Copies of this chain bind each other. A is one copy, B any other.
Amino acid sequence: MLSDPKQAVPSASKGSSLGTIEREAIEMFINFFRLLGLPKSVGEIYGLLFVSPRPLTMEELMRRLDISLGAASQGLKALRSAGAVKAVYSPGERRDHFVANLELSRFASAFIKEQILPKLEQASVRAERMEAALSDLPEAERTETRGRINELRRWLDRGRTMLPVALKLLG
């Protein structure tokens, strides 16, 4: 359980312009990025940039991945803001060229900082509110429920001490 396998399969259409290495890299990153809740197009873009030995323009990404202008622009925006991709200057060239940042640990860090930590903080606030609401409960249920809330808080505290350590290990 915990959701299905369902393998990523490249559409036939883009088979022509991509080699084995590119296809494998793209599929791999689609899978990992999906794990972080990111859309397919973002994984495709990063995958292609990861194995590309030279910077690519947005136009090249659109063409080779067969994605739209909007998807390319938004995907790159997201990747840049996560520090996963950067624009490099190309002399005498007007358009932007993009390269992948190969330090994969960035993703884990960004994910922890932006997704997990805020949820932990919010959860702690909720736990306080739950504690405070214990008095509304009928006597009989109070002890049992208090125990459960405490269990929850122990986990939240654990998380809040562990994650910064994990972040240090990564970055």
- Residues of the B chain whose Cβ atoms lie less than 8 Å from the Cβ of A5: 118
A116 at the interface (CB under 8 A from B): yes
Contact between B137 and A3, CB atoms less than 8 A apart: no
A-side interface mostly: helix
Contact between B2 and A110, CB atoms less than 8 A apart: yes
- Residues of the B chain whose Cβ atoms lie less than 8 Å from the Cβ of A141: 53
Contact residue range for chain A? 35 or more
Contact between B50 and A115, CB atoms less than 8 A apart: no
Contact with B along A51-95 (1 / 0, CB 8 A): 101000000000000000000000001100110000000000000
- Residues of the B chain whose Cβ atoms lie less than 8 Å from the Cβ of A137: 19, 21
Q: Give the docked Cα–Cα distance between A160 and B77 (Å).
A: 31
Q: Give the docked Cα–Cα distance between A1 and B136 (Å).
A: 39
- Residues of the B chain whose Cβ atoms lie less than 8 Å from the Cβ of A53: 140-141, 144-145, 148
In the complex, besides A24-B129, A53-B144, 13 extra interface pairs with C-beta distance below 8 angstroms are A1-B78, A1-B82, A2-B114, A20-B129, A21-B130, A21-B134, A21-B149, A24-B126, A24-B130, A35-B116, A51-B145, A102-B151, A104-B151
Chain A residues close to B by CB (< 8 Å): 1-3, 5, 19-21, 24-25, 27-28, 31-32, 35-38, 50-51, 53, 77-78, 81-82, 102, 104, 110-111, 114-116, 118-119, 122-123, 126-127, 129-130, 133-134, 136-137, 140-141, 144-145, 148-149, 151-152, 155
